[in-house]
Chain A
Amino acid sequence: MGMTPSRLYRAALCFLLIGGVLPGPARAEPTEAERMARWSDLRHAIFGDRVVEDTGNLVTIDAPARAEDAAIVPVAISIAEPLAPEIRSLYLIIDDNPSPLAAHFLLGPLADAREIATRVRIDDYTYLHAVAEAADGRLYVTARFIKAAGGCSAPASKDQALALERLGKMKLSLADRSRPGEPINAKLLISHPNNSGLQMDPVSRNYIPADFMQTLNVTYNGQPIFRLESDIAISEDPSINFRFRPSDLTSPGVITAEVLDSSQRHFSQSWSVSAAAQM
Chain B
Amino acid sequence: MPGALAQRGEYYLGRLRGNLGDAAIGTEIVAPTILVSDRLELDLGRRRLILRAHGPAHTDNDLTIFDENTRTFWLADLLFVDRIPVIDGSLVGWLKQLDGLTAISSDRAVPGHGPATVSWPAAAAPERRYLEAVAGDTRAAIRAGIDIANAYRQVANSERGHWLLFDEYHPRNVTASYKELEWE
Residues of A within 8 A of B (CB): 25, 62-64, 68-69, 72, 74, 76, 117, 119, 150, 155, 157-159, 166, 171, 173, 175, 185, 187, 189, 191, 200-203, 205, 237, 239, 241
Contacts and interface: CB of A to CB of B under 8 A. Distances in A.
Contacts of A205: 3, 6
B179 A202 contact: no
Interface stretch (B73-81, B85-93, B107-115, B119-127): B85-93
A25 B14 contact: yes
A45 to B, nearest CB: 29
A159 B55 CA distance: 9
Contacts of A187: 145
Nearest to B142: A173
B166 to A, nearest CB: 13
Contacts of B180: 157
Nearest to A155: B7
Interface stretch (B44-52, B130-138, B169-177): B169-177
A155 B60 CA distance: 11
- Ordered nearest first, which 8 A-B pairs have the shortest CB separation? A202-B3, A158-B60, A74-B149, A158-B56, A68-B172, A158-B89, A205-B6, A68-B175
Contacts of B60: 158-159, 202
29 contacts: A62-B149, A64-B149, A68-B152, A68-B172, A68-B175, A69-B172, A72-B179, A74-B149, A117-B147, A119-B148, A150-B11, A155-B7, A155-B8, A157-B179, A157-B180, A158-B60, A158-B89, A158-B90, A159-B89, A159-B90, A159-B93, A171-B182, A175-B145, A189-B182, A191-B183, A200-B6, A202-B6, A205-B3, A237-B183
A135 B152 CA distance: 38
Given A159-B90, A171-B183, A203 B3 contact: yes
A161 to B, nearest CB: 10
Given A72-B148, A201-B3, 17 more contacts: A25-B14, A63-B149, A68-B174, A68-B175, A74-B148, A155-B8, A158-B56, A158-B60, A158-B88, A159-B56, A159-B60, A159-B93, A189-B182, A189-B183, A200-B6, A237-B183, A239-B148
Contacts of A74: 147-149
B40 interface: no
A191 B179 CA distance: 11
B96 to A, nearest CB: 12
Contacts, number: 62
B4 interface: yes
A166 B182 CA distance: 13
A173 B90 contact: no
A200 B176 CA distance: 20
Interface of B: 3-4, 6-8, 11, 14, 56, 59-60, 88-90, 93, 145, 147-149, 152, 171-172, 174-176, 179-180, 182-183
Given A64-B149, A74-B147, A158-B88, A237 B6 contact: no
A202 B7 contact: yes
A237 B183 CA distance: 10
A185 B145 CA distance: 10
